[in-house]
Amino acid sequence: MTSPRSTFGVRRASFIPNHERRTANHERRTTNDERLLVLKVGGELLENPEHLATVAAGAAAMAATAPIVIVHGGGKEIDAALRAAGIEKRQVDGLRITDDETLDVVVSVLAGRVNTRFVAALNSVGVAAVGLTGADGLCGLSEAAPPHRATDGRVVDLGRVGIPTAAADVRLLRVLCAEGFVPAIACVGIGLDGRLFNVNADTFAGHLAARLGARRLVIAGTTPGVQDANGATLQVVDAVAVADLVADGTATAGMIAKLRACEQALSGGVNDVVIVDGRDRAALEAAATSEAPRSATRIVGSAALSGPRSRG
């Protein structure tokens, strides 16, 4: 008889109830006294069954060493749903311009299909994941984003796009982590008046990493770190070099939002940020337990580099 596999392609050696795994993981974390990790997962990793299984396995390895909070996006599935609904996709500097019709699609895809699928995959490998959005417990309390000044100089109204505020209540996340659960949060924000917002997943993750006092923010996507103008991965970049990468046009589109999130996390006290290829399980695990895998980029505060700034 062949060894059983989960629905998501991850091999199970034997079934252990989630509450038993949760207790064991919680005891290890308490002993290690680890500061938590925030893991941001790009939506492109969650629509492919093989990539989803890799991310779930990587998250399980992370959760065995420290408490983690996960934030996820759903970009390509949102794009597909917009096309099906006949709604034009509009973006600037990696940020989605969001009118009311677009927001309805964003919420239904993120909080519905993507979050449920991801939480199921995590639980199937023993991660006691709890699916949330930023509306739950006001953990994603947001305000409307101001007009955005694009890298090309334009000033753009982003519509129903939110920016997380310092008043966001992260107590629910702390309670879940303390009990051995793993919050898996779809990047939907909420205003004090109950209005929902589309919040960029990188922005949301950077904000939560700072608010929760995380030791590290791990950003997992389908790119092996930050690349220079020649396409080579930069291994270590400091906060000043991040600004240079944006200003000189080396970083474009979605990478700009990631780098802005890195700046926010570092300024909020997070030790460092690692941008990693989430299709590589070993790299994901290394991002949680070592300085950074060689195929990833580690972003640090300027004072953390003793030598000249690294951009290659």
The one-character DSSP state at 34 is P
Gap between the Cα atoms of 212 and 225, Å rounded: 24
Neighbours of 185 (CB within 10 A): 29
Asked if the model's pLDDT at residue 306 lies above 80, the reply is no
Task: Estimate the crossing angle of helix 239-247 against helix 254-267, to 10 degrees.
Answer: 150
Mean pLDDT value across residues 296-302: 84
| Rounded Cα gap, residues 76 and 82, in angstroms | 10
- Copy the structure tokens of residue 158: 């982003």
Are 199 and 261 in contact by the 8 Å Cβ rule? The answer is: no
Q: How distant is the alpha carbon of residue 58 from its chain centre?
A: 14
Query: Can you read off the two tokens belonging to residue 98?
Result: 């969001």
- Helix 281-289 to helix 49-63 angle, to the nearest 10 degrees? 20
- The average pLDDT across 189-210 equals 96
* SS3 of residue 267 by DSSP: helix
| Residue 24 clears pLDDT 50, i.e. is over it | no
Rounded-to-integer distance, Cα 36 and Cα 209, Å: 9
C-beta atoms surrounding 114 within 10 Å: 23
The answer to whether residue 238 scores a pLDDT higher than 70 is yes
Q: Helices then strands (H, E): number in the chain?
A: 10, 16
pLDDT tops 90 at residue 122: yes
Place of tokens 């949060």: 185
Of the listed ranges 30-39, 99-108, 127-136, the least confidently predicted one is: 30-39
Of 119-123, 132-136, 255-259, the least confident: 255-259
Whether the CB-CB separation of 211 and 175 falls below 8 Å is answered with: no
Q: Report the SS3 class of residue 76.
A: helix
Count the neighbouring beta carbons within 10 Å of the beta carbon of residue 305: 16
pLDDT band per the 50, 70, 90 thresholds, residue 257: confident
Dihedral sign (CA 68, 115, 276, 98): negative
Confidence of residue 14 (pLDDT cuts 50, 70, 90): very low
Band (pLDDT 50/70/90 cuts) for residue 179 is very high
Q: Which tens digits make up the pLDDT trace of 40-65?
A: 999 999 999 999 999 999 999 999 99
- List Cβ neighbours of 188 (8 Å cut-off, separation of 6 or more): 106, 107, 110, 111, 133, 134, 135, 140, 196, 197, 198, 199
- The whole-angstrom separation of Cα 122 and Cα 61 is 11
How, if at all, do strands 142-144 and 162-164 pair?
Answer: antiparallel
Residue 189: beta bridge partners?
197
Torsion sign over Cα 64, 66, 71, 72: negative
- Please tell me the distance from the alpha carbon of residue 194 to that of residue 210, in angstroms, as a whole number: 24
pLDDT band at 231 (very low <50, low <70, confident <90, very high): confident
Going 293 to 297 to 303 to 309, the CA torsion angle's sign is positive
CATH class label, 34-223+235-301: alpha beta
Q: What is the pLDDT of residue 145?
A: 93
Pairing status of strand 196-198 against strand 188-190: antiparallel
Q: Quote the pTM value.
A: 0.84
